[in-house]
Amino acid sequence: MRRFTIAALTAATALGTVLTAVPAEAHRGRPALGLENCAANACHFDVPAGTYDVTVRLGGETAASTSVTGETRRTLLAETATAAGRPTSRSFTVDVRTPEGEPTGADGTPGLDLVIGGSAPALADIRVTPAKRARQILLVGDSTVCDQPGDPYSGWGQQLPQYLRKGLSVANYADSGESTVSYLADSRLWATVQPRIRGGDLVLIQLAHNDKQTDEATYRGNLETLVAGVRAKGGEPVLVTPIVRRWFNADGTLNNGTALLVNGLGVDHPAVTRAVAAAHSVPLIDLTAGTKALVESLGTEGSKALYLYNEKRDNTHTSVHGATVYAGLVRDELVAQGLVREGRTRVG
């Protein structure tokens, strides 16, 4: 259990009040947990694993700009500006579990942890209650999707929650270094995810970057196994072609092999994914096509900011900015195909 120091409590005046930390548990039928669980720019709620609705009241007597991240650096609420004397409320739904980030990573802190950020943060109130009718979006993927534990890395799944309405939680089970082969084989991955799928849940599947030596028949069969496994639990599978790598030809187009995910055996991962989706009537998000168009439009220089080229000379993994942009592409496709409703819920 986290305990706040006197210094941390004093620093809470940045939020306009001194907050006291009185741990409490949220259970159905009990009052919502609130500001008594916050100090300085952090809130910790001693709740069991599950899905929770969070409502925040932002703003105060002066103009403010506030964001909320949670658990392992998930962006739950994008930075929201409020005018002086015009507070506003926002709500979102969050998945709480152990491990809280990558399934093969560290357990993290039990309960729900939120960080209040932004250029001028102001949190007037917060309420946390167990979600009654939440729908899950479960993510199966690799390091380009996962909840990355540290800066400057970020997966697009880590940024997806900020785009979604209350009542939709993102349960990100993507894990660094995984291929279709290893994801199915590791008991902490698919064997853990599948039992958690409920009727009506969406399961987004993006695996390809690490299938470098997977032959076409095996890759296709593994995707089909994942699709069938989702449907067996009453969920709806959504196949997602992989984000491109930032590798340019001399003419400013992306390399047909490395950049567009054709592996060492000549397997065209996006093409196989499209074929499986068509053969089994599975919704498809062609993120390869979407990210290719965007990266090529920005060019060799402009596209650097999407990836970690400047920081790490990394042309595969995305920055927070890039992951946020790519998450927006995923959200747009989910809405366009009628898989989720558009927009974030505004309260108050």
Residue range of the domain that includes 66: 7-130
Are 118 and 144 part of one and the same domain? no
Taking residues 135-144, report their average pLDDT. 98
In this structure, the answer to whether residues 60 and 190 fall within a common structural domain is no
- Higher local confidence (pLDDT), 144 or 9: 144
Could you tell me if residue 216 is inside a domain? Answer: yes
Can you tell me whether residue 158 is helix, strand or coil? helix
Q: State whether 300 and 193 are in the same domain.
A: yes
Please report the pLDDT score of residue 22 as a whole number. Answer: 33
Average pLDDT over residues 141-154: 97
Q: What is the CATH number of the domain that holds 148?
A: 3.40.50.1110
pLDDT at 25: 46
pLDDT for 347 beyond 50: no
Phi, psi of 106 (to 5 degrees): -65, 150
Q: What is the mean pLDDT of the chain?
A: 91
Give yes or no for residue 92 having a pLDDT over 70: yes
> Which of these three, 96, 130, 164, is where a domain ends?
130
94 in the same domain as 210: no
- From 76, 95, 130, give the residue that closes a domain: 130
The amino acid at 116: I
Q: In this predicted structure, what is the pLDDT of residue 19? A: 32
Average pLDDT over residues 47-61: 97
- 98 in a domain, yes or no? yes
List beta partners, residue 81: 65
Give one DSSP letter per residue of 163-227, joined into a string.
Answer: GS-TTEEEEE---TT--HHHHHH-TTTHHHHGGG--TT-EEEEE--TT-TT--HHHHHHHHHHHH
Domain assignment present for residue 46? The answer is yes
Q: Report the pLDDT value the prediction gives residue 257, as an integer from 0 to 100.
A: 94
